């Protein structure tokens, strides 16, 4: 009798609270930490509810950046080039592009003619 390995489905095992992947949880917490700045400003002014709402908006933005992909829309040039990629990956590439002084290096492969 032979032993067969049954493939195990690992999808979703790295999820926390069923909707947060590890990356999404980190981005959400970072968004909430950024949102604490306006929260404390509004708390000083006596508008704590508005500060909480703004903090939650920042958390949702962080979660969205980590979770969603850029849709592929044919009429918009940016989405044609980056459609289907994660939003955070596109933001990381843009930051690297700006850090290098708007320089893009393209490696062009030379074609040889076979006669």
Helix H, strand E, coil C: the string for the chain is: CCCCCCCCCCCCCCEECCCEEHHHHHHHHHHHHHHHHHHHHHHHCCCHHHHHHHHHHHHHHHHHHHHCECCCCCCCHHHHHHCCCEHHHHHHHHHHHHHCCCCCCCCCCCCCCCC
Do residue 53 and residue 94 come from a single domain? no
The chain-wide mean pLDDT, for the chain, equals 80
Question: Do 57 and 78 have their domain in common?
Answer: no
Task: State the pLDDT at residue 68.
Answer: 84
Cα(55)–Cα(33) distance, integer angstroms? 8
Same-domain pairing of 44 and 84:
no
**Residues of the chain where predicted confidence (pLDDT) is lower than 70:** 1, 8-18, 103-115
Percent of the chain with pLDDT over 90: 31
Q: Is residue 60 part of a domain?
A: yes
**Residue-level pLDDT at 1:** 67
């Amino acid at each position: 009798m032979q032993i067969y390995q049954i493939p195990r489905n690992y999808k979703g095992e790295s999820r926390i609270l069923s909707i947060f992947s590890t990356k999404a949880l980190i981005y959400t917490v970072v968004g909430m930490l950024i949102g604490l700045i306006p929260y404390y400003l509004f708390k000083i002014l006596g508008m704590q509810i508005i500060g909480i709402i703004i903090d939650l908006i920042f958390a949702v933005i962080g979660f969205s950046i980590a979770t969603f992909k850029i849709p592929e829309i044919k009429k918009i040039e940016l989405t044609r080039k980056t459609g289907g990629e994660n939003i955070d990956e596109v933001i990381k590439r843009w930051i690297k592009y700006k850090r290098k002084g708007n320089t893009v290096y393209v490696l062009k492969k030379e074609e040889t003619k076979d006669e």
